[in-house]
Amino acid sequence: MTGQSSQQPSDRPLSVAGFEAIAKTKLKQQVWDYYVSGSDEQTTIKRNRSSFDRLLLRPRVFRDVSVIDTSATLFGRKYLFPVGVSPSAMQKLVGGEGELDVARAIAARGTLMILSSNSTSKLEDVLDAAGGPDASFWFQIYISQDREKSSRLIKRAEKAGYKALAVTVDTPVLGNRYNERKTQLVLPKPLTLANLEDNDPTASSKPSLNRELLQALTREEAAQIQDAAKKRGLLNASDLTWHETIPWMKQQTNKMKIVVKGVMTAEDALLAIQHGADAIVVSNHGGRQLDGVASTLEALPEIVDVAKGRVPVLMDGGITRGSDVFKALALGADFCLVGRPALWGLAYDGQKGVEMVLDVLERELTRTMALCGARNLQEIEKGMLGVERRDGFGVAKL
């Protein structure tokens, strides 16, 4: 990967944590709270991070690590680095040109971006910013009650040149996010959710109906919101099923692969494969949906075991260091995704900031691979990981 000049200011962040600390000072409090917070007591968002720290590295030595290859392949496409950017909504709230800056950074670093359907940039413009269809980006979607609207959006993404469709499956309703309920986040003018139909930039900004439903305090209030929304088909669909949804999605596209994002159990991973999914993303929505679930790192091994290499398994959640990427790959992930770290880079310095975050993760991963004796991703193995023994002293192999 191409790095920046070695002559750097002394205050340049050297870790994702450093970028995060600066982003906190630059973002409005409401925007910061929106991106950093999880649901309920936020135990899952904390567990996503702490699970990585429970794993210990077991380095191998006297191996020729003079050349390190971090490249990975998904759907026949080679990426220089096994870390892409997962979908995050409304990135122009964070800084620069939002999704356009992130897309340019991803293209410059030769990796993968999954664009949120709730982006503040048109999906066509994002792909153009990255150099067109050769960027091999994926598009994320929530299937709405109005299937025709979803169908038209899928067809737009395919026409633009997106290579895969990542359907988020863990959001039939929004998680119980206290910060959003206390202070609802709305887009300031002239920003809009650029990929949604009937988007009027001159209209008064107001929360989506999904967020209005989150605000309901009683059964009756929730029912009223749901009844009103159903007539317009504006809520996320909550009636999706395995036997119907993936086949329907495949009918909407001639070229795009179907990726199921939000799988947390072996049972659902097996059903995804049986019903035609082309890839799985192990994700708990960054701890923003159901609180109290396992971390994605904890869920990863059982999903890898049932996938048996038949489809790629990606994961996101809690990754802030290159050694985290190494640990996820050692547990069987084919590729990793980050959400918040890319946003911290965007807040720091737009496209350049995102590139800097990716460079930090690449250098940390390359260094970890060299120190653990892995010359390429195929040589990263489960035996390079261990956990503290139950008596509190020593290392037990996984």
Instruction: Say if residue 43 carries a ligand binding annotation.
Output: no
Residue 182, phi then psi, degrees to nearest 5: -75, -45
87 among annotated binding-site residues: yes
Q: Is 339 annotated as a binding residue?
A: yes
162 marked ligand binding residue: no
CA atoms of 23 and 21, how far apart (whole Å): 6
Quick one: CA torsion of 280, 286, 292, 296, rounded to 10 degrees?
40
Q: Is 286 annotated as a binding residue?
A: no
Q: Is 275 a catalytic residue?
A: no
Please identify which of the residues 109, 257, 285, 321 carries the catalytic annotation. Answer: 285
Instruction: In whole angstroms, give the CA distance from residue 344 to residue 95.
Output: 9
- Is 34 annotated to bind ligand? yes
Contact residues for 377 (Cβ-Cβ < 8 A; gap 6+): 69, 70, 71, 72, 82, 329
Would you say 60 is a known binding-site residue? no
Instruction: State yes or no: 77 annotated in a binding site.
Output: no
347 is an annotated ligand-binding site residue: no
Residue spans of alpha helices (H) in the chain: 16-26, 29-36, 43-54, 99-108, 123-129, 147-160, 178-182, 209-214, 219-232, 242-252, 266-274, 296-307, 322-330, 340-372
Is 96 annotated among the ligand-binding residues?
no
Is 340 annotated to bind a ligand? Reply is yes
The C-alpha atoms of residue 323 and residue 62 are separated, in whole angstroms, by 20
The residue assigned the tokens 């060299």 is: 370
337 phi and psi angles, rounded to 5 deg: -130, 145
Is 375 assigned a ligand-binding role in the annotation? no
Counting every residue written for the chain, the total comes to 398
Q: Measure the CA–CA gap between 276 and 238, rounded to whole angstroms.
A: 20
- Confirm whether residue 274 is marked as ligand binding: no
User: Is 357 within 8 Å of 20 (Cβ atoms)?
Assistant: no
Catalytic residues: 285
What residue numbers does the annotated binding site for FMN cover? 87-89, 116, 140, 168, 261, 283, 339-340
What residue numbers does the annotated binding site for glyoxylate cover? 34, 142, 177, 285, 288
What residue numbers does the annotated binding site cover? 34, 87-89, 116, 140, 142, 168, 177, 261, 283, 285, 288, 339-340
